[in-house]
Structure 1
């Protein structure tokens, strides 16, 4: 067998997966519970408690409270590679609109990105690996990470001595549910998820009565002009073969229709894949914001405050080839794809870059295949298939959980040492 194709033998994989049908109802109940009780970044106390108890029930070596609410577990099973499996578990400030019977019970908070699914699948895979330990050797380190949505959880766990507690991994594996048909898995080698820069920009004008605009320096107009000018950055300053996204996600100004306020605030989100493109976009934002402010006669220079950042997630090409070979063997060639670069961001890559281990991070489908097919045929997939962060995002419970558990288990066994039956 080549280095690329080290897929577990079908008999070995089948033996480890044999227990999965016995756990499906329990995992579905766990998923519904997590979905109904979402918690925001670094405030995931209940979620961390549920995870910790589940891990202890599996008789794993568990450490809670890493980097705040992070949880890690070690499953040592003889000599062999050390494989890190990661799931994130924070939710988003989104008001759920799915109408599901297990919809969020927390006002204005929702698992709109599927992190509840990630936790469920990793716990399910750990259950199988514990029960099937006669078929493999090595060490599995499971990392349940808080605060992915704000880009701080992975670094917080590392800064709190994660690798001192669980050891340095030989490979980092992770997955994310996506609006693809259930049964599909996809992974892109190289830069796979974009870097993010989040900025808060404050523009300074001069307030006045709405009936006397001549006495004001209107920051609302200043903000509107800035928003429109920012739309030219990607279209006119980034080469056609490069990728960048610049979104103004919020514009806040004023309190009443007849009051011109003193200030306006913009919140920007920037996605890039390379350092030169990132530098170009950030420089253009600064130039435009300062230029529009000066042109409007602002009372003072604008403030440009970084509020968050994610690095580019880079998948190791050899790790991707090796893992995808196992996926093709298990799921079938027709169910494995290269989705290309995603302009979404992920901080899971920090575990790999800090440890020096190769990374393979993939996506798996959570949408009913018939629903997806009909939307594709109608050309309305972008409109009709709710994406991550939508208030309507609702992965199909099954077979999504089963596929996610199988993907994580298959990937883990691809890197662990296998024992002869």
Structure 2
């Protein structure tokens, strides 16, 4: 990382950023919604486009001097269309939550009805939680995961939709380890006359690479984050058919945002370009293979996984059957002390507080970017289990920490000798 100007003018911030580089290098990022972007994406996001106001859309800006901003946004849009096969793409949402907000604002009136997955079962705040704008502006009811199987109960979802009569059904989840049946949910939406919004925030990259089925061309609207499995600039994206293009664009600007973050749009464009290369297919396939290796080894240790495994980039561990007296937050904190960063997470049928839940969620996107394979992920599973089994044992945590140090040295990040798929 090059920070000579920052260090000369603001050493306090420079020190904090240097510390963050060191933290990322020296820990295993296993929060399922995190990843490591390439240095090219970092350069684009730190570019002079941060200086430019570009309210409006390419060719229709409210300010002059936007010829290069237009060029960058058009590149991002065209690459996104190629990646996901969408008719229309808006790359301006600042985050996945704003992408969802754009769809709601375009298609719903205050008080309209949203049917979405409960947050404690793997949904997202922006799908209608009472603490979020969506839950405050719209009438929301939520469906659940079958606690016995760990899968979406599509029949129950259909029955709930017929009873509730929603205006929009939201699919796509934050802590769901299985492939989503987009067509089944679309059939339900059609049956009750509702729109269908598929939020692929976590799996944008997996969908782009074809290792997870795509809702594009199935659901009415597809939203996502651009910084998770797709490894592009931080932000959100909305995809839809051409018939909804004007409504969506007007909802994003001027409906809910002013000037787009053009430096982030540049990061999106660069990351999308990387995802169009053949090696990204290898990355996505390896991410899923690594998650499945992680899942299998955790189960060999006797840990119970929600749904019994994974089809995607994450595993969700229910600690109650094997470690009933160990809440997820205790494990999260002990693992972070050891250099493995993941998060405590609610599980279907949760019996504890959402702030100190019964599960932990672990993902493989970041590890795979560093170059981890199945064998390395199996070893990480061994280390996770050691801490789960003894989170208060300082000697165990220290021993795991030493091995994490060895792994981060073996798979360096942002270094000349990195073995990661992006940073070679």
User: TM-score surpassing 0.5?
Assistant: no
Higher helix share: 2
Higher relative contact order (CA 8 A, sep 6+): 1
Higher strand share: 1
TM-score, length-scaled by structure 1: 0.24
